[in-house]
């Protein structure tokens, strides 16, 4: 049994127990794990990409096939926004010029589409605000009270703004967002670079750190990075897929994750 994990495998998503003394740090993804913003991202992606696909179908005479939940989870979720655009368009056999990050929001380039989604997301956050998952906040506070360091990573350039709006910036010893990743030249998920950068900032080895993710690409990244534990949070009925991509334990909410203290070295 790996790193003191206990989980009933005959249930798709259930409670898990983790031996906390084996962890020096836990690195959390933001959207869908710490803040309830993954649904906002998905809604904004759908609006932007459906408009693009509808305009394209009218121009080419092809059938309009809308952007769906599976498209978001498979091609976009957890990835830097331009990478997500390219991944989705490729799945539909559509090629657009990459363009430049300075491209105005629109339909002409990959960057323009990504910037259009970014504008929609900013508008939604301004109108709706940001709510953290209280169970995640409780877990982070519990970890920190026991001396476990915590970091937050996000492909979004808005991470610091969202954390400040939710009032939880002080819960993390290190924060790496999309702007930091670009400045450091870090490839996006499923590459593990952003998680490894967070571990370096915390001065911990991946073998002594856990990753908490809700996206398939993020779980892949944690697994590839050699982290001792990858926890999948299943908020989209994809528990099996999270396990297939490398999650060691899957829970529907972090309230279902039980921290065990004081296990002997040889105990499960």
Query: What residues act catalytically?
Result: 29, 31
Q: Give the single-character DSSP code of 177.
A: -
Residue with tokens 């710490």: 34
The sheet with strand 6-7 has its strands ordered as 6-7, 16-19, 257-260
Cβ 216 vs Cβ 241: under 8 Å: yes
Could you tell me the two tokens for 260?
């065990």
Helix ranges, the chain (H): 38-60, 69-71, 81-91, 110-128, 134-145, 159-166, 178-184, 193-202, 216-224, 239-244
């Amino acid at each position: 049994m790996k790193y003191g994990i206990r989980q009933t495998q005959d249930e798709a998503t259930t409670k898990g127990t983790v031996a906390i003394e084996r962890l020096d740090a836990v690195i959390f993804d933001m959207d869908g794990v710490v803040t309830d913003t993954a649904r906002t991202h998905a809604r904004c992606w759908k609006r932007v990409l459906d408009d693009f696909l509808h305009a394209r179908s009218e121009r080419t005479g092809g059938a309009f096939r809308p952007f769906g939940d599976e498209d978001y989870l498979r091609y976009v979720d957890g990835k830097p926004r331009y990478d997500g655009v390219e991944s989705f368009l490729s799945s539909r056999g559509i090629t657009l010029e990459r363009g430049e990050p300075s491209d105005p929001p629109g339909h002409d380039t990959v960057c323009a589409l990504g910037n259009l989604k970014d504008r929609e997301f900013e508008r939604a956050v301004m109108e709706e605000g940001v709510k953290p998952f209280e169970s995640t906040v409780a877990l982070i506070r519990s970890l920190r009270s026991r001396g476990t360091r915590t970091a937050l990573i996000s492909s979004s350039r808005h991470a610091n703004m969202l954390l400040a709006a939710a009032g939880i910036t002080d819960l993390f010893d290190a924060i790496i967002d999309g702007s930091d990743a670009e400045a450091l030249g870090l490839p996006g998920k499923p590459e593990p670079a952003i998680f490894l950068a967070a571990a370096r900032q915390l001065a911990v080895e991946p073998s002594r750190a856990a990753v908490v993710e809700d996206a398939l690409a993020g779980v892949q990244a944690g697994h590839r990075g050699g982290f001792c534990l990858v926890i999948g949070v299943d908020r989209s009925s994809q528990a099996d897929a999270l396990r297939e991509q490398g999650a060691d334990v899957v829970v529907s909410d972090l309230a279902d994750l039980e921290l065990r203290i004081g296990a002997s070295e040889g105990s499960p």
